[in-house]
Structure 1
Amino acid sequence: MTAATTPREDLPPRLTRLTFHGPLSETRATAMVRRLAATRPATVLDIGCGWGELLLRLLAAVPGARGVGVDLNAADLERGRRAAEARGLADRVEFAEESATGTGRGPADVVLCLGASQALGDDPVTALRELRRLVADGGRVLLGEGFWQRVPTDAELSRMWPGASADDHHGLPALVDLAVAAGFRPEWTETANPDEWEEFESGYQADTEVWLAANPAHPLARETRERLDSHRAAWLTYRGVLGIAYLTLVPTTA
């Protein structure tokens, strides 16, 4: 049986251990929602939403607010729709399978973009300009963006993702400066801590690792093993080197 014809129920489970698709704790997410909800947004736009967990929590915290999540992963979007239905939010949220490049979905009172700036542009400068276009005056952007905690060595870069370069990310001060230059003031600056990273990276692979241990002769076992081992090697290399900044940004007005 080939991978193309393997029954879906026989495939490894996907990301069921994760609440958020990123290194984000319950404590931090709760504080983020509280701060954003205090601005009383009427509209929320989530770029690269995945299953939109933070989007749904914000809508639940602001009765009457409406939201749109944009992503290209149909399975994640369906997970978001099921969650919205279960929480009584289906009539206030749309999960749209579409590209965010040049999107006309804004302006929104709150724009979420967590680990998904690449959906808006090839570099942070372009993405930040797009976020400024997409957020309404007086609104908020919550940006989750990678940064180097220290400049990686060439040896470290060679063990990260294919083609990894020191130019792939900025340091945190430079990242915040780019946000200011794009037309924002940083209301809140925070970074994922080691516990959040370890919970995310372990949860990212856990289901599939357990499946692989029980299915070593499966037609997809070799491909799955190589993918898991490659990702784990990259993570254990960028652990403590790559960070995630969560910037709550206020747009400046002319």
Structure 2
Amino acid sequence: MDLPRIYVIRESDHLIHNAFTEDKFATLGRAVRLQPGTTMLDLASGSGEMLCMWSRDHGISGTGVDISTHFVASAQERAAELGVADRVTFVHGDASGYVAATPVDVAACIGATWIGNGVTGTIDLLERSLRPGGLLLVGEPYWRMDPPDQATIEACHVSSKEDYYHLPGLVALFGELGWDLVEMVLANEDSWDRYVAAQWFTVRAWLDANPDDELAGQLREELTNRPLSYVRYLRPYLGWGVFALKRR
């Protein structure tokens, strides 16, 4: 059980595997009023930057779960680097079936709602680990504008327009599911760039060092085509944000 190698290559230099920056996560941590001693579960935690940052800055403790052995190892190294390895733990495993042994104050899935087959299922999964009155954090894309054609939809990495909501529809869904939206922090085009465009430099460096690798042809094609696709389609059409929810 592991993340396909091509994903690891693209984002091997990333600390954050979504359209947020360190500043965005700092804003989010302040916005949801984290307190020392808060416990947290982060499903699909990637390289653990959010959990490590918040442990350092706010004194929280918690567990991150991710399917990538590479990213779990990176998270463990990052925790040691930031001096929080005694407060945060990173587990290699399938986040789609993970429930905390002890309910936590904050349960999060930031940009990986496929673990619950969508927003609704992911919220249900997270709630199984949440103490009564606790906080959910859900990171999710949304349409900024109606995609005009199938090319735009596929360039945003889905097969159907219905795979994402518009922002009002997403906020309405939270209410329909019985949750209050109590905070949100949204990505912008600059933070999208730091996620997506940074992959291109990493891929080019990898191609220079590994021209004969079995994945070189596929990654060469991606580097040729993806920058134009990104600026033409994903950057203007797709938003992304983290939404803080409390059960009504």
TM range, smaller chain: 0.7 to 0.9
Instruction: Find the aligned partners of 1:51 and 1:158 in 2 and give their Cα distance.
Output: 28
Conserved? CA contact 1:156–1:238, under 8 Å: no
Q: 1:108 and 2:104 equivalent? A: yes
Match of 2:91 among 81, 93, 96: 96
SS in 2 for 1:138: strand
Q: Which moved more, 1:181-190 or 1:70-79?
A: 181-190
Give the 5 Å matches for 1:220-239: 220=214, 221-229=216-224, 231-236=226-231, 237-239=233-235
Give the corresponding residue for 2:20.
24
Cα RMSD (Å): 2.5
Cα 1:182–1:41 shift into 2, 3 Å: farther
Q: 2:131 aligns with which of 125, 129, 136?
A: 136
The more displaced of 202-211 and 166-175 is 202-211
Q: Supply the AA of the counterpart residue of 1:83.
A: R
Matched, 1:249 2:245: yes
Distance between the aligned counterparts of 2:19 and 2:99, measured in 1?
A: 29
Q: Does 1:81 align with 2:81?
A: no
Contact 2:183 2:245 in 1 (8 A): yes
State the distance in 2 between where 1:70 and 1:217 align.
33
2:196 to 201, 218, 234: 201
Provide the residue aligned with 2:53 in structure 1: 57
Q: Does 1:218 align with 2:212?
A: yes
Report the CA distance between 1:182 and its aligned residue. Answer: 2.2
In structure 2, what is the Cα distance between the partners aligned to 1:70 and 1:54? 13
Q: How much has 1:163 moved relative to structure 2?
A: 5.8
Which whole-Å CA distance do the structure 1 matches of 2:63 and 2:72 have between them? 11
Q: Any unmatched runs of 5+ in structure 1?
A: 1-7
1:154-173 matches, cutoff 5 A:
154-157=149-152, 159-160=154-155, 164-173=159-168
CA shift digits 1:201-223 (9 cap, x unpaired) = 111221112332x3584344323
Superposition deviation, residue 230 in structure 1: 5.1
- 2:156 touches 2:238 (CA, 8 Å); kept in 1? no
Residue number in structure 2 paired with 1:46: 42
**Closer, same or farther: CA 218–248 of 1 in aligned 2, 3 Å:** same
Q: TM-score, normalised to structure 2's length?
A: 0.85
Shift in CA distance, 225/151, structure 1 to aligned 2, threshold 3 Å: same
| 2:172 matches 1:177 | yes
Equivalent residues, number: 239
Cα distance in 1 for partners of 2:23, 2:175 equals 27
- Give the TM-score of the pair, scaled to structure 1: 0.83
SS in 1 for 2:97: coil
Structure 1 segments (4+ residues) deviating >4 Å: none
Give the letter for the 2:212 counterpart. H
Residues 1:110 and 1:130: Cα distance change in structure 2 (over 3 Å): same
